[in-house]
Amino acid sequence: MSDIETIVVDGLELANELRDEMKREIEALTKAGHRPPQLSVVLVGDDPASRSYIKGKQRACARIGAESAEYLLPESTTERELLDLVDKLNRDDAVDGILVQLPLPKAISPEVIAEAVDPAKDADALNPLNFGRLLLGTAKLVSCTPLGVMAILARHKIEIAGAHAVVIGRSNIVGKPVSILLQQQNATVTMCHSRTRDLDAVCRSADILVAAAGSPRMVKGDWIKSGAAVMDVGVSEVDGKLVGDVDFEAARGVAGLITPSRRGIGPMTITMLLRNTLNAYVSRKRL
Ligand code: NAD
């Protein structure tokens, strides 16, 4: 018997509201005689999942009235060739946001590419300068999925100050930045990873639990504190079905709030990519 009515977050609904807001902002800018913002997406290789992600990103741009361009490069592309394209996009004043889709082929270092993207156009916020600014609390561009998590917590008025937030996963794209954002909003943050001892007990003490390990259904119902806000970032495919890091059915009735695998964090990530592009545009043009 469950004793809690768990709120299941509708990430798509929130994403659509935020996209409508951005659409109005862009309409106002174009009415005032400015061009719309532009996001350039670069894909190296033929990964079908990446292809589908970038299509989604283009559709999302079109929906808010932003421009987008895609650069599809063959798997055989060298690091030098990709750096040349990044350099060209950096210097093109009509480009406001640059996103190089990960994963990259083995011959190309994602760190080298992240360093090459102009920090002012760094829509995915992977350039070390933006990462450093995030640590200092002065970042204008922050990694999209962590921003999406924070927007969901804000929308649902989850109290962050003083809360114990547990983050599973310490990647540069999710775990580390989300832990910094939570700490900046005065949570007490515990970061967990594959070597953490007694992970279940640590999770049980979380008021806010962010699961970003990519390990399907690893968080069991009895790992969750009653009423906790559970942000399930993980996405894995099991038997042709998308599943999160949290055992969703077991968490229902225990968590106060939970994001589902579909219509959860995913739409918010794309929305924050659009937000970063628009912010980059406004800041570059000093509007
Ligand atoms: P990653 O593989 O770079 O990092 C995973 C982290 O989890 C590592 O720090 C690792 O130590 C930790 N980890 C792995 N297994 C663990 C375990 N059993 N116990 C404790 N810690 C464990 O992954 P990532 O890029 O951060 O992505 C994490 C997950 O989030 C993936 O499933 C990815 O697909 C998903 N993701 C979703 C979105 C979205 O928009 N929904 C965006 C980014 C990532």
* Ordered structural domains, the chain, with CATH: 34-118 (3.40.50.10860), 143-266 (3.40.50.720)
What predicted TM-score, i.e. pTM, was given to this entire model?
A: 0.96
Query: CB-based contacts of 37: which residues, under 8 Å, 6+ apart?
Result: 26, 66, 67, 96, 97, 277, 278, 280, 281
3-state class (DSSP) for residue 166: strand
pLDDT beyond 50 at 168: yes
pLDDT digits (tens, 9 = 90+) for 138-149: 999 999 999 999
Cα–Cα dist 274/18, whole Å: 10
- CA 171 distance to own-chain centroid: 12
Would the pLDDT of 219 be above 70?
A: yes
Which atom of ligand 1 is the closest one to the Cα of 214? 32
Q: Report the catalytic residues.
A: 57, 101, 124
Distance from the CA of 59 to the center of ligand 1, in angstroms?
A: 26
Q: What is residue 287's predicted lDDT score, i.e. its pLDDT? A: 80
Instruction: Report how far residue 133's alpha carbon sits from residue 36's, in angstroms, rounded to the nearest whole number.
Output: 27
Nearest CA to ligand 1 atom 31: 214
Q: What is the pLDDT of residues 1-45, one digit of tens each?
A: 457 999 999 999 999 999 999 999 999 999 999 999 999 999 999
204, pLDDT greater than 80? yes
pLDDT in tens, 76-96: 999 999 999 999 999 999 999
Indicate the pLDDT class of residue 49, thresholds 50, 70 and 90: confident
pLDDT for 1 equals 47
CA-to-CA distance for 47 and 134, rounded, in angstroms?
30
Average pLDDT, the chain: 96
Q: For 208, list phi and psi in degrees, rounded to 5.
A: -125, 125
| pLDDT for position 3 | 77
Q: Tens digits of per-residue pLDDT, 241-258?
A: 999 999 999 999 999 999
Asked if the bond preceding 128 is cis, omega within 30° of 0, the reply is: no
Which residue, chain included where needed, has tokens 């996963």?
169
Tell me the best of 99, 171, 223 to mutate to test the pocket of ligand 1, counting ligand atoms within 8 Å of each CB and taking the most.
171
